[in-house]
């Protein structure tokens, strides 16, 4: 690949970041796809997701204090999967970071990431309530 082609790809990447913000809270297409799929059951799924996600973040805090990488990994993995289903992109990214920290036996040094997760969940909750007009 020559330098001209490389520069073109870099320009395309920076352009695509403008149209899809890096800090996107919820991927609109994924969220609407799940909403269409579940129809009247969607509101129940959302409530369960929000309740379970908060419990998982609480579990991550406990695991972080205890240095429990195994339970931290499980909670991060479950949160990542559930968040992916709803298109909660920040939560997916942060949960993935926590999974990697747990693999490296570093959960005890991950309090900041867990707090970012908690903040991201709050933003997701706000956006979901706006989208569902709750």
- Listed as ranges, residues in the chain with pLDDT below 50 are 1-22
Q: Give residue 132's pLDDT.
A: 87
Could you give phi then psi for residue 5, rounded to 5 degrees? -65, -40
Tokens of 82: 């559930």
Residue 117: C-alpha distances to residues 16, 70, 72, 124 (Å)? 25, 18, 13, 10
Q: Give residue 24's pLDDT.
A: 80
* pLDDT above 70 as % of the chain: 82
How many C-beta neighbours within 10 Å does residue 114 have? Answer: 22
């Amino acid at each position: 690949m020559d330098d001209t082609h490389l520069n073109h790809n870099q320009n395309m990447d920076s352009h695509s970041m403008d149209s899809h913000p890096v800090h996107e809270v919820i991927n609109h297409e994924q969220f609407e796809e799940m909403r269409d799929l579940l129809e009247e059951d969607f509101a129940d799924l959302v409530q369960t997701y929000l309740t379970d996600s908060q419990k998982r973040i609480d579990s991550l805090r406990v695991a972080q204090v205890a240095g429990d990488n195994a339970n931290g990994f499980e909670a991060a993995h479950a949160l990542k999967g559930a968040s992916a289903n709803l298109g909660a992109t920040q939560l997916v990214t942060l949960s993935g970071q926590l999974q990697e920290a747990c693999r490296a036996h570093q959960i005890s040094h991950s309090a900041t990431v867990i707090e970012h997760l908690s903040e991201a969940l709050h933003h997701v909750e706000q956006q979901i309530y706006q989208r569902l007009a709750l």
